[in-house]
Amino acid sequence: MDARTTTVQELSRRRLEPAPGGPGPTVKFVIPGPGGCSWLVRADCGQGERPPRDGPDCVVTATEPVLRALLTGRANTLAAVLRGEVAVSGDLDVLVALQRLFPGPPAGSRGGAA
């Protein structure tokens, strides 16, 4: 399926190799505003067993284009956070582990901002 036509939810689930009921942390993605939505992904970030907690381990909030750019490798996570395009709450360690599952920039591109 073409990344441009795939929903960002589907992209996140495919990219993050969800581990249902597994030991990985839960990440909540949020697209804010009218027409926005949120969804949960349990990702296998290689972090091993985690203590149970109420709610997701980490909440990542951004617009649809920014999330899509992260999930397709057209944006770098830390740079996007520093630019203020991505809001993060909860366990930051989870975000650092999670971003390792994101792909590299498409061939021929420099990386670059979303």
106 counts as binding other proteins under rule CB under 8 A: no
Q: What is the number of helices (H) and of strands (E) in the chain? A: 4, 4
> What phi and psi values does residue 37 have, to the nearest 5 degrees?
-160, 175
**Judged by CB under 8 A, which of 33, 34, 35, 48 binds other proteins?**
48
User: Residues 6 or more apart from 101 whose CB is under 8 A from it?
Assistant: 15, 16, 17, 43, 45
Cβ proximity to other proteins, 37 vs 106, nearer residue: 106
What does the block give as tokens for 13?
A: 């689930």
Q: In the structure encoding, which two tokens stand for residue 80, read together?
A: 């996007």
Nearest approach, Cβ of residue 103 and other proteins (Å): 6
Nearer to other proteins, 36 or 112 (CB): 112
Could you tell me which stretch among 6-14, 16-24, 36-44, 75-83 binds other proteins (CB under 8 A)?
Answer: 75-83
Which residues are paired to 42 by β-bridges?
A: 26
- Kindly list the residues in this chain that would bind other proteins in the complex (CB under 8 A): 46, 48, 73, 76, 78-79, 81-85, 87-89, 92-93, 96-97, 100-105, 110-113
